[in-house]
Each structure stands twice: as structure tokens, then as C-alpha cells.
Amino acid sequence: RGRKSQSRVQGIGGASRVDLRHLSFQITLYELENFQGKKCELTKGSPNVTEEALEKVGLILVESGPWLGFERQAFCGERFVLEKGAYPRWDSWSSSRSSDSLMSARPLPIDSPDHEIHLFENAGLWAHGFQDRVASVKALSGTWVGYEYPGYPGHQYVFEKGEYWDWNEWDARQPQLQSLRRVRDQHQL
């Protein structure tokens, strides 16, 4: 009685730094599935891929990355983490299955080969025990992608190094983050 409860935080990973200035990023977007139609190669972010001579994106080939794709122009809307490899149809890059468009993309640099993240049950980076909700996050190193549901389906939420004081800061509809993984960078494999 009268004693404050200890805050408990769920932490994952460990930390170190790496210089990313020399890394290259390349992604090729095809207008149609099966490598058909017009194509557009990007080595830097594009706030509007339709300005790059594409009407839509039907296939994605990440040659070096990772990249972060967005459902709408100007890096807005649902996010899609795109690691090295081919994404032959929209449902291969959209784990929520609610969006079939990719209108902007940017490189997703990884600040460290090691990853560490703390998950908090309450907003404001505060925890009392640990329940079934994640309302704030502190990404200490690396880059992470969280998913709305267990087993990696649902909306994707990207956590780059920094503090996310409230679940609205990662554009979640509710404090529901039920699976989490680190984003891998083939430069560091």
C-alpha cells in the first residue's frame, strides 16, 4: 500500500549503429501483372508514381531496399513494407487485403543491424502490467513492422527509430497490435 507499482515494458532486441549513407535503393514498378505494361525504376522516393508514366501498379520488384509503399499519393494512406523480392499482385504486398493500389513509395532505411523495441499498454509510453493492447511504442533501434492481427495479417504499422506516444501516431484505428517483426535489410545480411 502507498507504494507505486513498477512500470513494466515488453522489450525485444539489442542495439548498435551502422552508417547507411553508402547504401543504394532500387525498386521497379510494372503497370500490369507478369512484368507486363509500362515500367518505372525508382532509386529515391516518389510521392506520385502516376507522374512516373504509370496509371497504376500491378507488379513490384524490389531489387535493393527495403521500401515503404503507400496506398495514396504524397506518402499517405495504408502502408506496405516491401523487402527484396517480387510482388506479382496487389494482394502479395497488401496484408490487409483492403487496398489494391500503390500510389507512392520511398526507401525505408534501417538505422542498425540490431533491433530493439519497447511496447507499452498505455498511451504516453507508460505501462502497468501488460494486457492485450499496445497503445504506445518506443523503437530504440532498427525498423519494425507491426500488424493488426496475430500471424501478420491486417494493416501494417511501421516503427522507425523514435517514440510513438499514442496509437494514432502510427495511424491505427485502435490500440490493436498483435504481431510484430523486424524489417530486414539485405545490405546487412
Cβ distance 30 to 36 under 8 Å?
yes
Report residue 124 as a C-alpha cell: 504516453
- For the chain, the farthest-separated pair of C-alpha atoms sits apart, in whole angstroms, at 70
Cell numbers found for residue 154: 491486417
* Residues paired with residue 84 on neighbouring β-strands, in sequence order: none
| Higher local confidence (pLDDT), 181 or 132 | 181
Q: What is the CATH number of the domain that holds 45?
A: 2.60.20.10
Say if residue 49's pLDDT is above 50. Answer: yes
Are 57 and 124 within one domain?
no
pTM for this entry: 0.78
| Other beta carbons within 10 Å of 53 | 11
Task: Return the amino acid letter for 93.
Answer: W
Tell me: do 71 and 118 sit in the same domain. no
Q: What is the pLDDT of residue 16?
A: 37
**123 and 179 co-located in one domain:** yes
pLDDT level of residue 19 (50, 70, 90 thresholds): very low
Residues 43 and 102 in one domain: yes
The answer to whether residue 164 is domain-embedded is yes
> What CA–CA distance (Å, rounded) separates 59 from 71?
14
Q: Name the most confidently modeled range: 8-12, 69-73, 111-115, 175-179.
A: 69-73
Average pLDDT over the chain, rounded to whole? 82
Identify whether the C-beta of residue 47 lies closer than 8 Å to the C-beta of residue 154: no
- Count the helix, strand and coil residues of the chain and give each as a percent rounded to the nearest 5: 10, 40, 55
Task: Answer whether residue 189 shows pLDDT above 70.
Answer: no
The whole-number pLDDT of residue 24 equals: 86
**What distance in Å separates the CA atoms of residue 186 and residue 134, rounded to the nearest whole number?**
29
Mean pLDDT, residues 111-125 taken together? 86
Looking at the structure of the chain, the number of domains it has is 2
Same domain, 121 and 140: yes
Predicted confidence (pLDDT) at residue 137 exceeds the cutoff of 70: yes
* Structural domain range at position 71: 26-107
Pairing of strands 136-141, 162-164: antiparallel
Residues 84 and 149 in one domain: no
Cα-Cα-Cα-Cα torsion 138, 69, 101, 136, nearest 10 degrees, comes to 0
pLDDT at 61: 96
**pLDDT band of 18, cuts 50, 70, 90:** very low
**Which residues partner with 159 through β-bridges?**
144
Q: What is the C-alpha to C-alpha distance for residues 63 and 13, in angstroms, rounded to an integer?
A: 27
Query: Quick check: helix, strand or coil at residue 157?
Result: strand
Mean pLDDT of 126-155: 86
Q: Is 51 helix (H, G, I), strand (E, B) or coil?
A: helix
Domain annotation covers residue 161: yes
Average pLDDT of the segment spanning 47-54: 86
pLDDT single digits (tens) 70-99 = 999 999 988 999 999 999 988 888 876 667
Task: For the chain, give the percent of residues with pLDDT over 90.
Answer: 48
